[in-house]
Each structure stands twice: as structure tokens, then as C-alpha cells.
Amino acid sequence: MKNIVILISGRGSNMQALLAAKLEGHIAAVISNKSDAHGLLFAQQHGIATAVVSHTNYPERERFDAALAEVIDSFAPDFVILAGFMRILTPDFVAHYQGRLINIHPSLLPAYTGLHTHARALADGVKIHGCTVHFVTADLDHGPVIIQVAIAVLPDDTEHTLSARILHEEHRIYPQAVRWLCSGQVKLDANGKVISQCHNLPAQALISPALDLP
């Protein structure tokens, strides 16, 4: 059984979705950079070990990442899952967990990297938006894609409504991605390419607005 460590900074809704999915992997610990992260209490209530490595104690990113890695490695993880962990990680940290560090991002990467993805999508008037699970690389939000989901942007969408619908989809695809990783159906090869044994055919095309057909 694969060991999983989850990193959070807040409520950890994606962490909660992973727990609810009852994965075959063992969630060894939940670690946060904030002691008041609500997700820590949730994890404790479910009998999962927790730890805090506060970034405010380390003026340099490299020192924080080194301290964080030391705590993570004490749980011997096969995979490190970022679930709303709001820190930009150093290249050395990312390299240490190459092929084992996973993130979910609220856009259809490579579109809308960084923050405020929903507001930017609305401002640009896109008709389709979504979210992406990907391997983490030193190039922020540009790692190899494991799975994506797209939804239509509705005419009356606000940042709040669009965010809520995207979050619902995040809670569906993140457990699936981690399940594939734990079963060995998805991995990263030596060339940084995703090798997948998942052969499910995609659903029909999403067109927004819909075609005007008789």
C-alpha cells in the first residue's frame, strides 16, 4: 500500500475529498504551513497524524523547504499531494520529490497559471473553464498533466459561482488521479512524460454555447 502525505494551508477541501474516497493508499500525515488551518482538525478527527511547519519561522524559502522536507520524509511517502498548499516550492524541493509530487490547479492548464484563475477567465470571456491535476515541476503550474475536466462558463456566472462548480469537479478528479497513481496506472517517466494505462474514452465533446442544430 502506497504512503501518502498531504500538504494544506487552509480548510483542505480536496484533502477531505481524498479521505472520503477511501483510497487504497494510506494517508500517513497531513502537514500545514499554518497552525490554524482548519484541515488539521479535520484530519485529527479522522485519526490521521498532523504536523505544522510554519513558513514564518524561516526567512528564506530554501530553509523552509528543507525543514518541510525533513518532516515529510519522516512519514516515508510514496506521493506528496498538494491540496491547497499556498507556497511556491523551490526547485530543490521539487527535484527531491520528482515524479511523486502532485498538485491540482483551478484552470485548464497551461491556461491561467497562478492566482485568481476564475476572475481572469471571466474577464477574458472564455466559454469553457476547468481544472487540472498535474505532476509538479520547477516551472510553476506547467507540470505534466494527469487528468483535466472542463465545464461551460454560464452567462450569469460570477467568480463565486464558477469557483464553486470548479471545486465540485476538483473533488471528483483528484481522488481519481491519486487512485491511478497508487495502482501504478499513471507515472512519470525519465523524460518527464506521463505514462498512462488509463484507456477510458472521454465523454462527448463539450461545446459552449451549444450548437444550434435541428
Residue 214's pLDDT is 62
- What total of structural domains would you count in the chain? 1
Is position 73 within any domain?
A: yes
- Domain that includes residue 159, residue range: 3-196
Q: Which three cell numbers stand for residue 164?
A: 464553486
Q: Which three cell numbers stand for residue 155?
A: 452567462
Is position 72 within any domain?
A: yes
Q: Which amino acid is at 98?
A: Q
DSSP 69-137: HHHHHTT--SEEEESS---PPPHHHHHHTTTTEEEEESSSTTSS-SS-HHHHHHHHT-SEEEEEEEE--
Is position 208 within any domain?
A: no
Write the pLDDT tens digit of every residue in 77-126.
Answer: 999 999 999 999 999 999 999 999 999 999 999 999 999 999 999 999 99
E strand or H helix at 4: strand 3-8
Active site residue 105: yes
Q: Which residues of the chain have pLDDT under 70?
A: 214
The catalytic residue among 105, 118, 129, 171 is: 105
Which pTM was predicted? 0.96
Tell me the CATH number at 47.
3.40.50.170
| Number of Cβ within a 10 Å radius of residue 190 | 7
Q: Is the dihedral of CA 88, 91, 94, 97 positive or negative?
A: negative
